[in-house]
Amino acid sequence: MPNPESIVKKLASFKHRGAATQNEPLVLDYLQSIFSDKTVSLEAFKTPKTYISVVWWLISGLVVGLVSSNLIPFLGVVITCFFTTFALLYFNWYASPVTKFPPRVTSHNLIVKNGVMNTPKSKKLILMAHYDTAPISFLYTPQMVGNFRKSLRFSLILMVIAEFIVIVQFINQNIIFSYLSYILATYFLIQGITATVDFFRLGYSNGASDNATGVAAAIETANRLWDKNLKDVDVELVLTGAEEVGMIGARDYFLKHAKEFTKETYLINFDTLGNGNLKVITQTGSWSNIIYDNRIIQSAKEIISQDTDLQHITTGAWHTADFDSVWFLRAGVPCVTLAALDTNGRMPNIHRPTDTFENVDFKPMNDAIQLAEQIALKL
Ligand SMILES: [Zn+2]
């Protein structure tokens, strides 16, 4: 079994791991080759190739809605209403119909179980990490990323204002609201260009920290626990695709397997462990806060307060996009995401060309492995 650092190195040796690109089968072949003595399955699912097409669907819909409010006001109301709803769902990390719009491609989740046939156990622990990498985005440059949540919230407010404008236009066409509709449409177009231009210039990130480190940590934790052959806990490793599109792989896994979560089920998600200090993430969300407070979180807090090796780990918040664990949290599955943040509460290099192997610090990844292993032993 390769050690975690060599797994990161191997994953980072691919130029990128963009979902459903020509690299995905090569990455999956490598990951499968690690688990010769385990039960491995690949689950295919449909997804947009990147969030770029999703963003442009939403922006085009809003722009067409605003412009048509000056020409065919009723159509303006209907189109704006649909696309505002799709956008509010998508950017608050709920399932949004816009992710079903074309073009759609096929990506895969890789699921690994211990090969040894055992009598069924009373608990199940899912160890999760996404292997895909993200489009490079200008919004993740150091000067922009600090305002990510603020500017997302601002855009969400403007979408609701767009809705208001088209309704006024429908009731009583007037020149001021007509100007406002064009100004708003222009603003959305500029936002779309800012969010996506770097992908067309620079492609996908290498993703050494986001999320080769998470994959390596999940694999290492799973191996340690499989070796221990825990009496009460089935350990399942789930490496997801298309997280960077909008947690699509994790949602597909959740929908396909939620009916099996009849016994006590827990989830530990590993995301971006290559810079800064390890955090037990207790808060995410864009418009409203999504709070993690459950048995796994309590157990993690207990461990870090008692173990002198792990005392430097603290809880943390992350409001720039979200994590694969969000579907499980909303369904009431006790879960946690382990991620590393620097002293400014940021993830350096992510979604940028500098997220490379040379810039990875392995300390938070190794801390995550230790912490996750201890959480599992306390279940
Ligand atoms: Zn990630």
Tens-digit pLDDT string for the chain (379 aa): 899 999 999 999 999 999 999 999 999 999 999 999 999 999 999 999 999 999 999 999 999 999 999 999 999 999 999 999 999 999 999 999 999 999 999 999 999 999 766 677 889 999 999 999 999 999 999 889 889 999 999 999 999 999 999 999 999 999 999 999 999 999 999 999 999 999 999 999 999 999 999 999 999 999 999 999 998 999 999 999 999 999 999 999 999 999 988 779 999 999 999 999 999 999 999 999 999 999 999 999 999 999 999 999 999 999 999 999 999 999 999 999 999 999 999 999 999 999 999 999 999 999 999 999 999 999 9
Between the CA of residue 268 and those of 217, 292, 338, what are the distances in Å?
11, 12, 7
Output the CA 243–ligand 1 centroid distance in Å.
7
In the reported structure, the alpha carbon of residue 130 is separated from the centroid of ligand 1 by a whole-number distance in angstroms of 7
Please tell me the distance between residue 185's alpha carbon and the centre of ligand 1 in angstroms: 31
| Helical pair 148-171 and 51-68, crossing angle rounded to 10 deg | 30
Contact 286, 91 (CB under 8 A): yes
Helix/strand/coil for 38:
coil
CA atoms within 13 A on the CB side of 37: 6
CA of 303 to the centre of ligand 1 (A): 25
CA 340 to centroid of ligand 1, rounded, Å? 11
Question: What distance in angstroms lies between residue 209's CA and the mean position of ligand 1's atoms?
Answer: 8
Q: Which domains does the chain possess?
A: 4-49+104-136+203-377 (3.40.630.10), 53-100+140-202 (no CATH)
What's the 278 CA to ligand 1 centre distance in angstroms? 14
Cα 136 to middle of ligand 1, angstroms: 12
Q: Which two tokens stand for residue 339?
A: 């991620």
Alpha carbon of 211 to ligand 1 centroid (Å)? 5
Distance 262 CA to ligand 1 centre (A): 28
Q: Ligand 1 centre from 106 Cα, in Å?
A: 19
Closest to 370 measured CA to CA, from 310, 314, 311, 312: 310
The pTM assigned to this predicted structure is: 0.96
User: 86 CA distance to ligand 1 centroid (A)?
Assistant: 23
